[in-house]
Structure 1
Amino acid sequence: MNVLISGAGIGGLALAHWLGRHGIDATVVERAPALRSGGQAIDIRGAARTVVDRMGILDAIRAKHTGTHGIMYVDRRGAPVARMAGEDFGDSGGVVAEIEILRGDLVRILHEAAPAATYLFDDHITALRDGPDGVTATFNHASPRTFDVVVGADGLRSGVRRLAFGGDRQTVRDLGMYTSFFAAHTSLDLDGWEMMYNLPAGNGVGGRVLLLYPVGRTGEVRAMFSWFSPALGHDRRDTTAQKALVADVFAGAGWEIPHLIEQMWPADDFYFTRSGATNLDRWSHGRITLLGDAAFAGSLGMGTSMALVGAYTLAGELASTPDPVAAFSRYEAGMRDYVTRNLKRPPGGDRGFAPGSRAGIWFRNQVIRTMTKLPGKSAMTGNLQAAANAITLKDYPTTRDPLAIPNPR
């Protein structure tokens, strides 16, 4: 079998690893000229912990743990008003999971663990034709090739999904929030706590929030700025305009924000996106299927874990049958309940993350201060601990040891 994977992110690289373990040839095409090294801190929860353990990379992931052990809510002076430790809801059920790693570090580990796949960087798929002998993919640069299977692991705005299923208007539900993040430094002693500072609606937008992720004890952080707003018609390719929008939205704000905005302007890892959720009745069309955010975006804290579990399951099913359509059916049947459960929004949903009024911020903080002491507290976070483990992973026999696979890069 010969598989084309669009996207060298978490799902695509994990899939390349597992396909190689099953003796299946994989080609990975990535629009960026190299691996995307930036990104925020992400969690590995529940069944995904078992997947990375089976990949042989759990120790490498733990060695790159950010050191974060909880989230602290602060006022405009930086004084704590509420806090929630990661252990309050189990190893996978809190706002911060027991295993947290920077996205760029996880991508690097997955790339090193991936078997001898073929990589096409600085390229992308421009057309797909599903015929009786396979799917012929046309690329922006490389020559056309025919594959037995094509997998879109290329994110919320998936090019493969657009080619096979239709445009984003048909497949993506807008969630009303903008988010940006970049690497920065602070003189604050965060002591292993993520810090969240909320602001009410203002400057023409809804509730606003700054979240600082510490990276070890070096003063390095990831700064994430988010806010609710109707779509503002931003240009996805104009980074300067995006940075200006962040600066305008948070103009006049206190605490660490002015210092961080100064660091944002020269940042070369700046990322900007509008949140959305995929809305698909099925994840496959013929010999083409979807993985990760391309298929099931929209969770709170489970995107990485679902991509890892999905890659494991998809590769295992492809290895179990010569018929891709049958493999896709079993992949989706095995994943659908798990995904559906993890896409449910917790009580309060996104609005609890960024309340639009000072009264709403105060009330949310009071809830955080008391919820860890209440019976049934897990229900207040959507029972994330149980949802993260809500799948029984099959044992798919592999033909290769993960440490014995050459990786010629």
Structure 2
Amino acid sequence: MTDSPSTTDRFAFTPTHDEAARLGFVGALKKYVNFDVETALQERFDDRIAPAYTQSHGQAPTNRKEAVAAAADDRLFQLWASLTWHSQNMMWDTVQLTTDRIIDDRIATFRALRDRAEAGGSIKLNDEVVVRAPVKTTEIHRQPGGYWRETRTDDIEAGLNYTGTVEMYRQAKGMSTGKSATNDTFGRFVAGVAQRRAPDLTPTSVLDMGCGTGEQTHAYKHLYPEAEVHGLDSARPFVRYAHGAAESAGVGIHFHELDAAETGFADESFDFITSIIMFHETSAAQVPRILKECWRLLKPGGLVLHLDVPYHAHRIPLVKQVTNDWQVRHNGEPFWTGFVDLDMKAELEKAGFDPASAFDDYEAVGPAAYFVFGGRKA
């Protein structure tokens, strides 16, 4: 395969045959670790780890802290951790091969699209934005350099690398479309949830917070073509990448480098505000600030709907809590367990949402489910 993206998909992550084969191997390895090894670890926890803890402590492990202590010295758990660590390294090393080969072309394409504004979208960068922890202080997902690192003028490397990992996971799950910059399935799912929760609402102004590379933001413009759609993120390379990808796909979206807790938009600017897996990459300090900003920005009759990880302790087994705890401490997920320990309905009410309209719930996606929370403004 040669690097030849079409005119409507000039921002795609386009590995060669050999690069794609290596990505396929890494994706298959991660799928094996995340499913087969974790399943075996669940069985081992029930059959050996928990009984051994009960014998030595006089009671079974009942919470994450006790389960972590019980599993720490188990050889299968240590194997899972080692495989997770090294497969993550392999993933970033592998996507970097493709990125290094195509980065100059993609930056040139970004500049041309930015200057021509072909699809009618826009990009606004903001030198006043303060990138906050943990995005500033942590390599989230252990992405080398983190989301916000820039090493060249008009850099989009972080966005391109991130897109490559998303495509790798899709390929491993048999979901790849080959159009890595324009797959907006998750955004369409969120819009469907919004339609069920606010059937009377046809959004005219949409804000996608923490939009990252922006591919899911495309869904809102496709589904609400008359709406003005905005996406924001605090990582400048992601904002650049999101703008280039949208323009290359002919989707007119306005992207901003902004802090979700302090956007600068006028009061009551949007009737639909959303995010996808943003909150668990913020912090306990940021959560109430972001929710208050959502309340301020929401028009009367509008809907706030955020989607995030569904790993609350009452819904997942202890061994999953053990592996999640390891991800927090060793794999660039510093607020994962902190987020799921929060009472988001209470946080919404503190931010101004009416208890009668505020919600935190779960929405099914095939055999899985995601955590959704938000509310409406009367």
**TM-score if structure 2 supplies the norm length?**
0.23
Higher helix share: 2
TM-score (norm 1): 0.22
**Higher RCO (Cα < 8 Å, 6 or more apart):** 1
